Structure 1
Amino acid sequence: MEIVMPDTYFFPSKAISRFKKRAKLIHRETGKTHNEALEEIARGFGLPNWHHLTLHADASRHCELAFANDLIVAYDLKEAENVDTALFTENLYLFGLCRKPLIARFRDGDEDKWEPESETEYERMADEYRLFVRTGGTAPEKLEDAVELVQSSSFFPPEVFWWKGTLYEGLGAHPVLPQQPIPEHLMSAFGAPARGEKLISPQVSASKGTGVNGNVADSYSYCIHCERAYPEGAYRQKLSWQLCPYADCDGDTVIDNWGWRRIRKENPGYPEVPELGVQYPMHGPNYVAPKNPKQKTKRKSK
């Protein structure tokens, strides 16, 4: 349960069944009737009785259905005044589903590398938004239809909206993708990230595919700082930095990143598929210096 706004309590759809199981346990331990136990649970949330709790739970359930199947828009307090209420209706219960993604968005978008905002500040920023759900009619089935409806919601476009449970950044309709689970072999090779960092897994495992040119080597990147290879797309997130995925390296995947194919071209003895965690010197024992492009010589005039 989460108190999303004053006098507004969000209860997930499974909460009622859990509360009833808890009431049975209270009945066995204290001898109170099942109804008395339910009333006690409701008062524990600051509600006058069980009936009020079920009203909040019912409103929360309808909110969950709208979130999963319909269109939600988020506006800051000032711009929310211009939302077309014939198309969208404000729903405070939506904060139970949307508040954490908003907080995460502010946290991930903090560009101050040295003095990031506090978690309390991110929460305050999220609470300065108002959430609206589409009013009546049939939910848009296509993303372009959802974007068109969002455009009609207000003169000012929202920074984010949710369509069928997916968060999108503005009218460009770029989905904010969830964090991919980290395969165990990558976590073992890279090491656990430090506090305040998180390891981002590549979308596709390099061991199961090839690069853009059909070359397995194109599926791997190479850090010139620690001289180790890693699957293309893996990195360690620290504030707005994208660091080498190896926990003991402070290389940058933007400026210290070379393609593995380039390293192999200059070191033909290296394997096509590099072993994770193994150091491959840039100038290995079989290093072949790249040839300079041929320069045209000017003919001497007689």
Structure 2
Amino acid sequence: MLPFVQGQPDLMARQLADDLYCRLKQLPVQNPKLYIQSYESDEAQARTTMALLTHYLARFGDVLIEKKQTDADLTIKGKTHRISGNLQQFWILVQPAEAASALPDISVSIYLLSGPAQATATGAVPAQKERPVRVAKSAGVLQIITPRKPSLCGTRHPWRSGERVLNGQAAIPKQGCFALEIAAPTESRGFFFKKRGDGALFRLAPSECRHLGVRSSRNSNGKTLRLPSRHRRGVEGVLHSDDHSGRETYYAIITNDDRSAGVVAAHLALLPESCHGYEDPQLNAEELMSWLQKLDQLMLEHASNVAWTSRDIILSNANNSLINIY
């Protein structure tokens, strides 16, 4: 997971709520009752995120929020851990409300990139206003593009009926198909990868896979990058969701100079490719964590020339996928 920046507590809360819900659904309990402890911290963004978490968990009808801990199956609390410099990890820890419970402990986390604190002469750390960390030009919104006729997804010409952009919350058939588009500065480079529901990571671009070419179209505001390219001969030019996964996350990284582009490309080259539906995870859990931590460091070191964004695809049990902006 790439780091959030200051000023994004709403996005952080949504991400944590969705991740936590996926973990809760794996527990051997129907309609779990949750008690959320009040969060005491000097980190304003973390406090706001924790407060918003209740709202986003309440969206799921089969999760109940209790006002008393004695009425709950599980207790939720937040914890912030500073990794290095201005990179922090914000954890949501879930534990059984009763020590004798057979339910396991679970946890989810996100990363937060914040401005470094400056100590005063007395050693106290002054309060700081939340402000965005300096990053490259905005990566914008990673758009999901689908054919107007989903029935064409299994054909060689899925786009012949036209296309549409899915904004906000939208639904596509589970067997549907889509492409990714993002606006970028003219001289920038774009990189794409995905995270499967089981946590496995796969490189999408750059790629040696024939159907994963990226098309760059210039316009008055810069250019638009599309993955996969729509107009490659003999190639259907679509991405397909993983039917066996409850959720996928697609990431776009935009770089503004050759040095940061080379660093990002070299790091992405360590990931296995996703090609024509074939995906071999290759990296184990420890290696995935190491790769993500290194990516966090690279994003921090090249923050003035790198931007990122992502979109989640959440597959429903009703042969639908809900697509949300993050």
Q: TM-score range, shorter-chain basis?
A: under 0.3
Structure with more strand by fraction: 2
The TM-score, its normalising length taken from structure 2, stands at 0.23
Larger radius of gyration: 1
The TM-score, its normalising length taken from structure 1, stands at 0.24
Relative contact order (alpha carbons < 8 A, sep ≥ 6): 1 or 2 greater? 2
